[in-house]
């Protein structure tokens, strides 16, 4: 006798005992004891859940999200323990078939929520899988309840036989509805295990100090992709589906990549190139196209560039095929420069000294390398100067430092009496212009007389 037959006998005996006790007076007392145990469990679970909520309220998202499943498991777990104690304490004086049957859903739901606690704890570190896990928890809980109800009423075998009779053709293989459902369950289980192991591996790689950050990202993404692929193939083989039927799908995918997905494939390949050649790192200040900002994320399809106006998603292909100015490629310091004109009447040496003094009161400016002022060119309206300095936190932007430098220059020029010229135009009249002068008629031509007025 295998485990399935033994389980069938146990459940069948429970149902028969329940039907037998239903005719006697002890059935009502069992319901009263069960209701009392559940009421006490509900009263005890509320303060325990409240203490858990208070204790983990200030923790990270993953722990708080996992605590939600753990809080749901407290009531069925306490109820199962109380019902178990009542069953062993009352089986000598009254029938306990209702209590024995109630232990199955109570401990089953508690175990199910415990499993979801482990999954939430391992898969929701960044919050991206929280909605999927919540939906999965509801679906699995509903399926478990439906399966238990069908089993108790003795129609589960008939439902399974009907599902096995419904068959489909996938290539040269024949599959039925039951095998497809089993395949879905196996895929779900293996994918969750792969994702959990991937999250565990990500946590280990993230904490490794000997690896480069870009190499960590590459290893994490490759390992997760391989784990998901292996889990899907393994689950399909466990169900009995021939993997050769995927050749049609693989051919169609290759044609799609060759025809309509060139840009997407190029962006993905470019993303791995950026991560492997280390030309861009997280936190680098770059200028690409018309965007200037710090690299916040390097994803497989795009790179997030954060600047003062928000965040820009730059396709990875653009970062590989076009010229990218990396302000912090070999040095994390970024140069900030502002230009200003001074009148020709101002002494250039004095202007350079004043410009250097303007840096003292500006925050975020580094002392090394030292700020410098230069005479750039002789313009039409005045002499053009440049004041340059360095900052060590380019992720906070350069516009604030530039604004502070410009304001300091304006105040110091005003105090020192240095004029900032602006374009002017001067109009000079070389000869006087005659007004109302009639040209003389040529010789031999009489001037034209005005007509006499009409009387």
Res. 15: pLDDT tops 50: yes
Contact status, residue 320 vs residue 365, Cβ threshold 8 Å: no
For the four alpha carbons of 352, 357, 363 and 364, in that order, the dihedral sign comes to positive
* pLDDT at residue number 158: 75
Contact partners, residue 180, CB within 8 Å, separation at least 6: 168
Q: How many helices (H) and strands (E) does the chain have?
A: 13, 10
Q: At how many degrees (to 10) do helices 177-206 and 97-123 cross? A: 50
Q: What token pair was written down for 374?
A: 């230069």
Share of the chain above pLDDT 70, in %: 71
Contact partners, residue 390, CB within 8 Å, separation at least 6: 333, 334, 335, 336, 365, 366, 369, 371
Q: What token pair was written down for 406?
A: 């410009």
Contact status, residue 44 vs residue 78, Cβ threshold 8 Å: yes
* pLDDT at residue number 407: 93
Max distance between CA atoms of the chain, in angstroms, equals 154
Res. 38: pLDDT tops 80: yes
Let me know the angle formed at the C-alpha of 192 by 186 and 197, rounded to the nearest 5 degrees. 125
Beta bridge partners of 313: 304
Listed range (28-42, 103-117, 303-317) with the worst mean pLDDT: 103-117
Res. 257: pLDDT tops 70: no
Listed range (120-124, 388-392, 418-422, 447-451) with the worst mean pLDDT: 447-451
As a whole number of angstroms, the distance between CA 134 and CA 117 comes to 11
As a whole number of angstroms, the distance between CA 321 and CA 316 comes to 9
- Per the document, the length of the chain is 455
Q: Which residues of 399-427 are buried (b: 16+ CB within 10 A; e: fewer)?
A: eebeebbeebbeebbeeeebeebeeeeee
pLDDT-derived band at 3, boundaries 50, 70, 90: very low
* pLDDT at residue number 5: 47
Beta bridge partners of 288: 291, 324
pLDDT-derived band at 91, boundaries 50, 70, 90: confident
Residue 385: name the closest of 352, 418, 410 by CA.
352
* pLDDT at residue number 339: 93
Share of the chain above pLDDT 90, in %: 12
User: What's the predicted TM-score (pTM) here?
Assistant: 0.42
How crowded is the C-beta side of 263, counted as CA atoms within 13 Å? 4
Report the 3 state secondary structure along 250-300.
HHHHHHHHHHCCHHHHHHHHHHHHHHHHCCCCCCCEEEECCEEEEEEEECC
DSSP result, 111-148: HHHHHHHHHHHHH-SSSTTHHHHHHHHHHHHHHHHHHH
Listed range (100-109, 134-143, 275-284, 390-399) with the worst mean pLDDT: 134-143
Task: State the average pLDDT for the chain.
Answer: 75
How crowded is the C-beta side of 427, counted as CA atoms within 13 Å? 0
* pLDDT at residue number 2: 45
Res. 249: pLDDT tops 70: no
Helix (H) or strand (E) holding 315: strand 310-315
pLDDT tens sequence across 161-185: 777 777 776 655 667 777 777 777 7
Tell me what the mean pLDDT of segment 98-123 comes to: 75
Within 10 angstroms of residue 64's Cβ, the number of other Cβ atoms is 15
Q: What token pair was written down for 393?
A: 């936190």
Res. 115: pLDDT tops 80: no
Kindly report each contact of residues 82-89 with a partner whose C-beta sits within 8 Å and lies 24 or more positions away, as own/partner: 82/37, 82/38, 82/40, 82/41, 83/34, 83/37, 83/38, 86/33, 86/34, 86/37
pLDDT-derived band at 14, boundaries 50, 70, 90: low
Res. 222: pLDDT tops 50: yes
Helix (H) or strand (E) holding 303: strand 302-307
Within 10 angstroms of residue 323's Cβ, the number of other Cβ atoms is 8
Residue 388 dihedral angles phi and psi, to the nearest 5°: -120, 145
């Amino acid at each position: 006798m295998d485990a399935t037959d033994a389980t069938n006998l146990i459940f069948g005996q429970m149902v028969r005992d329940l039907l037998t006790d239903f005719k006697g007076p002890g059935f009502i007392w069992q319901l009263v004891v069960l209701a009392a145990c559940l009421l006490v469990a509900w009263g005890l679970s509320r303060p325990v859940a409240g203490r858990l909520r208070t204790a983990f309220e200030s923790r990270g998202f993953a722990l708080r999200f996992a605590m939600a499943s753990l809080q749901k498991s407290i009531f069925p777990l306490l109820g199962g323990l109380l019902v178990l104690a009542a069953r062993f304490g009352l089986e000598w004086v009254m029938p306990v078939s209702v209590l024995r049957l109630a232990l199955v859903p109570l401990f089953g739901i508690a175990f199910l929520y415990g499993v979801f606690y482990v999954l939430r704890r391992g898969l929701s570190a960044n919050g991206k899988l929280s909605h999927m896990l919540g939906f999965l928890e509801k679906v699995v809980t509903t399926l478990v309840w439906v399966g238990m109800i069908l089993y108790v009423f003795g129609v589960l075998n008939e439902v399974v036989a009907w599902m096995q009779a419904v068959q489909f053709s996938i290539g040269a293989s024949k599959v039925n509805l039951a095998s497809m459902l089993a395949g879905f369950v196996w895929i779900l289980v293996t994918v969750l295990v792969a994702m959990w192991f991937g999250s565990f591996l990500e946590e280990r790689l993230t904490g490794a100090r000997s690896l480069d950050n870009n190499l960590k990202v590459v290893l994490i993404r490759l390992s997760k992709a391989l784990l998901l692929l292996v889990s899907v193939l393994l689950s399909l083989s466990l169900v009995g589906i021939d993997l050769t039927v995927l050749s049609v799908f693989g051919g169609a995918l290759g044609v799609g990549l060759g025809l309509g997905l060139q840009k997407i494939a190029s962006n993905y390949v470019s993303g791995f190139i950026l991560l492997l050649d280390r030309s861009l790192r997280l936190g680098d200040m770059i200028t690409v196209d018309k965007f200037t900002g710090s690299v916040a994320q390097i994803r497989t399809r795009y790179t997030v560039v954060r600047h003062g106006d928000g965040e820009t998603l730059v396709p990875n292909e653009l970062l590989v095929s076009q010229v990218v100015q990396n302000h912090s490629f070999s040095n994390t310091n970024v140069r900030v420069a502002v230009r200003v004109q001074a009148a020709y009447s101002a002494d250039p040496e004095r202007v350079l000294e004043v410009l250097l003094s303007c840096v003292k009161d500006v925050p975020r400016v580094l002392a090394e390398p030292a700020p410098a002022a230069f005479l750039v060119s002789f313009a039409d309206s005045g002499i053009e100067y440049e004041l340059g300095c360095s900052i060590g936190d380019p992720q906070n932007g350069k516009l604030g430092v530039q604004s502070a430098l410009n304001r300091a220059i304006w105040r110091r020029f005003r105090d020192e009496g240095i004029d900032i010229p602006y374009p002017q135009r001067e109009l000079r009249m070389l000869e006087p212009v005659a007004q109302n002068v009639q040209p003389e008629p040529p010789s031999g031509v009489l001037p034209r007389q005005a007509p006499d007025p009409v009387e």
